[in-house]
Amino acid sequence: MTSVLQPAPVRTGGATALPARTGFAAAYSAVVAGQLARARLARVPLLFVASFQSIGILLLLRGVVDDASTVTKQSVVAGATVLVVAFVALNLLAQRFGALRAQGALDYYAALPVPGSAVVLGTASSYATFAVPGSVVTAVTGCLLYGLPLGRLWVLAPVVVLAGASLAGVGALIGLLAPRPELATVAGQLGMSLVLFVGIIPRDRLPEAVQLLRAVVPASYAVDALAETFRPHVRWGTVVLDLGVCAAVAVVALATSGWALGLAVRGGRSRAGRIGG
Q: How confident is the model at residue 259 (pLDDT cuts 50, 70, 90)?
A: confident
Q: Does residue 29 lie within any of the structural domains? A: yes
Residue 181: predicted pLDDT: 87
Residue 143: predicted pLDDT: 94
CB 20 within 8 A of CB 127: no
Residue 14: predicted pLDDT: 44
- pLDDT tens digits, residue range 194-206? 998 888 888 888 8
Its pTM stands at 0.81
Q: Does residue 248 lie within any of the structural domains? A: yes
- pLDDT tens digits, residue range 129-164? 777 888 999 999 999 999 999 999 999 999 998 998
In our burial notation (b when 16+ CB lie closer than 10 A, e otherwise), range 71-105 reads: ebbbbbbbbbbbbbbbbbbbbbbbbbbbebbbeee
Domain that holds residue 89: 23-266
Q: Does residue 146 lie within any of the structural domains? A: yes
Angle between helices 131-146 and 70-85 (to 10 degrees): 170
Q: How far apart are CA 220 and CA 167, in angstroms?
A: 11
- pLDDT tens digits, residue range 6-57? 444 444 444 434 355 667 777 778 777 777 776 665 666 666 777 788 888 8
CB 106 within 8 A of CB 272: no
Q: How far apart are CA 190 and CA 174, in angstroms?
A: 11
Residue 31: predicted pLDDT: 78
CB 58 within 8 A of CB 80: yes
- pLDDT tens digits, residue range 161-179? 899 888 988 888 898 888 8
Q: Does residue 273 lie within any of the structural domains? A: no
Within a 10 A sphere around the Cβ of 59, how many other Cβ atoms?
13
Q: How far apart are CA 254 and CA 25, in angstroms?
A: 15
Q: Does residue 12 lie within any of the structural domains? A: no
Q: Does residue 237 lie within any of the structural domains? A: yes
Check pLDDT > 70 for residue 5.
no
Q: Does residue 274 lie within any of the structural domains? A: no
Average pLDDT over residues 74-94: 90
Q: Please tell me the total count of domains within the chain.
A: 1
